[in-house]
Amino acid sequence: MLNFVFKKERQVELLLYEYLDTFKLSQESFSKAINSCILNDTKCEDFDFYIKQTHKQENKTSDISDEINNIMYGKALIPDSRGDIMQLLGEIDTIPRLFKDILYMIQTQRMSMPVFLVPEIKEHIKISMECCELLIRQTIALFTNTGGIRALLGSIDTNESHCDNIERRVTAAIFDSQIDPFQKIQLKELVEKIGNISDKAESVSKLINILSLKRRV
């Protein structure tokens, strides 16, 4: 396990898996906040709770990343490996921050989702979350030196393209509608931020593929 890092560094191995588990928890909290509280016709009293949970998990991923960094540099692990891993974690860190920022945007701007957009936004969130799940699988494949990295990149790329198409359709629907012009701008910015999730997942996926190829050289 984790030959990519250092065979005997069990502490780093455990922290890397804790990091991915925490990333998954932040994804779940975000998804519940959007699907239960924003895309549901009934008022959701748990929205603030889900925001706090998402923020908590985002902070934890950052803390674990810092701890891994301290251990790897403090114990002078292989320079190439530690640099690659810290670069990767730094890129992944941006996704939980996106989750948090999207929820805070909705909360502070008192945003609501027009009914005619709900089906498309649900699909957008669903595909974006699939991108994150595939990214976790791809990261584990890198850490464990198992196959399938290139295939997972292909799946993430396909999903990202799907999200781009949804984003364009939703944006057109927003500006074709008769809703308030200010709300149109709000919703456009929200849709763009949601689209950033799959964009970032694709970017990180490409980095993982490069790191995988780099190991073979």
Residue 3 lies in a domain: no
Helices 118-144 + 149-176 axis angle, to 10: 160
Residue in the structure block whose two tokens are 């027009």: 114
> What mean pLDDT value characterizes the chain?
90
Structural domain range at position 121: 10-216
Residue 142 lies in a domain: yes
Residue 4 lies in a domain: no
129 CB neighbour count, 10 Å cutoff: 20
Residue by residue, pLDDT tens for the chain (217 residues) are 455 454 546 788 889 999 999 999 999 999 999 988 888 766 678 899 999 999 999 999 999 999 988 887 776 555 557 788 889 999 999 999 999 999 999 999 999 899 999 999 999 999 999 999 999 999 999 988 888 999 999 999 999 999 999 999 999 999 999 999 999 999 999 999 999 999 999 999 999 999 998 876 5
Indicate which CATH number applies to the domain containing 45: 1.20.58.220
Asked if 103 and 30 touch (Cβ cutoff 8 Å), the reply is yes
Tens of pLDDT, residues 99-154: 999 999 999 999 989 999 999 999 999 999 999 999 999 999 998 888 899 999 99
> What is the distance between the terminal CA atoms of the chain, rounded to a whole angstrom?
20
Q: How far apart are CA 207 and CA 58, in angstroms?
A: 21
Residue 30 lies in a domain: yes
